[in-house]
Structure 1
């Protein structure tokens, strides 16, 4: 893995891009209170390895993940939301990190899987996202169900890739067209793809260069699709 560099001065306010950077550093370079919504899927801090042996950077390093939320809270506009996937096994650490950053849990969404992604004391058949509030944001006009059906991405570009079909309803519910959506753990870019398709601006940060390349390729495809759609 190549070493990411801090973002350059000219990138500070750039949008509609994914930047190869450590989000602990990169977010600190942004102006405060400039982001409308954060949607992110950080490492679950479980040292995960998929059946092909692929791993996730910082998945066994809380110090590489939890301090990011202090910066998340700083760059979010007043009275706004952060939507964060997390697993149950490290939830106490995440909860403390969110609380220390000034983000409180105000909701939870669970996706039911038709298959077991893992078997231990139980069959693991769900994914969970926590709705975090900075301040006192307005409630969504049309709240999402707290339980929905999972859409499997195939994990083609990333070992824990979320499907755009899972992310898009979140962005549609908690933001409006033209808003800036930020993902500090962008992976292969599903959040950014969903934001672009829904007419939102986006800004992503990703620690691993290979995933940045995948995300940029996906976003270029979205741009071609949207351009062709307008021209049609």
Structure 2
């Protein structure tokens, strides 16, 4: 049932039945109008009118007593918290991924990524919980301007799911979550709005099936 869909998650997710997925792992736009050095941008990274409807759909399609793990923009955390709580999610954990490099400097040198663990209902705790501070591996952002490393995503998937579970990423970018899920023996549904990143993800998934580096 694995699939990587080109489209708007606000149009795609309503076509899925309630309680259809076992885990959500996603890296939505941070609402900061990000552009990398090459000028690459991310869809819907300026306005936030999509955020609450998207999170509401994420909550609907997630099974009862299951987890959603979402990266977020720290400077817009109030908007993310409002959307998560309005949808019904309960915040149960926070993860920090430490970088060996500084990705940006301003008032501080930014050397970490972070994500919140959200619960729908009362999911069981993992048998061996991950530490909430984990290392980060630089991807080079070859496929996407904010590409998350598969090596960091796979342990998250393995901790909060079982083999053959369905992992959803409604903001899939170049498909890192899908690649990590496939490597972990899970099914996946990825949704990406921009054709260039969707095409990159399709190439990565095809390479994975062929036994090549993704």
TM over 0.5: yes
Once the two structures are superposed, what CA deviation does each residue of 1:100-151 show, in whole Å capped at 9, x if it has no partner? 0101110011011111111111111110010000001001111111111111
Distance in 1 between the 2:93 and 2:149 partners? 21
> Does the CA-based 8 Å contact 1:82-1:131 persist in structure 2?
yes
Q: How does 1:57-72 map to 2 (within 5 A)?
A: 57-72=43-58
> Does the CA-based 8 Å contact 1:42-1:86 persist in structure 2?
yes
The gaps in structure 2 that reach 5 residues or longer are none
Distance in 1 between the 2:48 and 2:77 partners? 12
Distance in 1 between the 2:11 and 2:122 partners? 27
Distance in 2 between the 1:172 and 1:101 partners? 25
Which residue of 47, 70, 91 corresponds with 1:84? 70
Which residue of 191, 195, 201 corresponds with 1:205? 191
> Does the CA-based 8 Å contact 2:51-2:80 persist in structure 1?
no
1:164 equivalent in alignment to 2:150: yes
Q: Secondary structure at the match of 1:187?
A: coil
Q: Secondary structure at the match of 1:63?
A: coil
State the partner residue of 1:114: 100
State the partner residue of 2:16: 30
Distance in 1 between the 2:146 and 2:51 partners? 16
1:51 equivalent in alignment to 2:23: no
Q: Using structure 1 for the length normalisation, give the TM-score.
A: 0.89
State the partner residue of 1:135: 121
Distance in 2 between the 1:101 and 1:25 partners? 18
Once the two structures are superposed, what CA deviation does each residue of 1:21-57 show, in whole Å capped at 9, x if it has no partner? 1001110110100100000000011111111111111
Distance in 1 between the 2:46 and 2:77 partners? 14
> Does the CA-based 8 Å contact 1:87-1:127 persist in structure 2?
no
Q: CA RMSD in A?
A: 1.0
State the partner residue of 1:8: none
The alpha carbon displacement at 1:67 in A equals: 1.8
Q: Using structure 2 for the length normalisation, give the TM-score.
A: 0.97
> Does the CA-based 8 Å contact 1:111-1:128 persist in structure 2?
yes
> Does the CA-based 8 Å contact 2:52-2:87 persist in structure 1?
no
Q: Secondary structure at the match of 2:56?
A: helix
Once the two structures are superposed, what CA deviation does each residue of 1:134-181 show, in whole Å capped at 9, x if it has no partner? 001001111111111111111001000001001001001000101000
> Does the CA-based 8 Å contact 1:37-1:80 persist in structure 2?
yes
Distance in 2 between the 1:45 and 1:167 partners? 22
The alpha carbon displacement at 1:64 in A equals: 2.6
